Amino acid sequence: MEQPNQLMQHDVTETMENRKPFLTRDKSGSSSPVLLEHKNEIYYNLWRRWKVKKKIYNGSAILFKRIDMIMFVFPLLLLQLAIVILPMVIDAELSKFLATGLAAVSSVWIGAQQKLRWGEKGEKYAATAVMYAHLTSEAYFQITVSAVDPDSASNQNVLKFLDHAQKLEENTRSSCPLPPNCIADKYNRQEDNSMVTDH
């Protein structure tokens, strides 16, 4: 005669084998099959994934814009201000020499800014964060609709939503560089910790 624990283990194994897998993010950040029981769990997993992605790209946008402001925008403004003010406070010959040197430094600084394009990367990250914010809202709406009217979450509607989301995500991220690992790891750890707390 089987023990109660063995019977429970047999029932759980049989139930999980009858479920269909759905792709979602694991702890490493990659996609792996997770067994789901209801279709609204698909929307819930997408909502959590996109919420983390939104935070990652928004954090990357803030980081690169801040670096661009500190490293280039403010120093260049100070250089331009110095070039204008120096002729007013020192003699003409020295001011001419200093203005020429500062103009050369300013040109090199502008060239470095154009080469690194940190501000442009920040804008791309920000646009991608807006896209993920939109997908997060869409997923939350679908979760609400599924809770109110479970019959609305048909296979066709779910597949249509997944296809729309995938195309939108691919088109937006095609021209956007990958976020820094430090930013991605930070928010992935926060999400993993929140999932542990939820359970």
Domain ranges of the chain: 45-185
Residue carrying structure tokens 């992935």: 188
Residue carrying structure tokens 């990367």: 121
Q: Spell out the per-residue pLDDT of the chain, length 199, in tens.
A: 444 444 333 333 333 333 333 444 444 343 433 334 467 788 999 999 999 999 999 999 999 999 999 999 999 999 999 888 888 888 878 888 888 899 999 999 999 999 999 999 999 999 999 999 999 999 999 988 888 887 777 788 888 999 999 999 999 999 999 999 999 999 999 888 876 555 5
Query: What DSSP line would sit under 111-144, residue for residue?
Result: HHHHHH-HHHHHHHHHHHHHHHHHHHHHHHHHHH
Token pair of 78, please? 């100070």
3-state secondary structure of 191: helix
The 8-class DSSP code of residue 189 comes to H
List strand residue ranges (DSSP E) for 5-102, in order. 20-25, 31-36
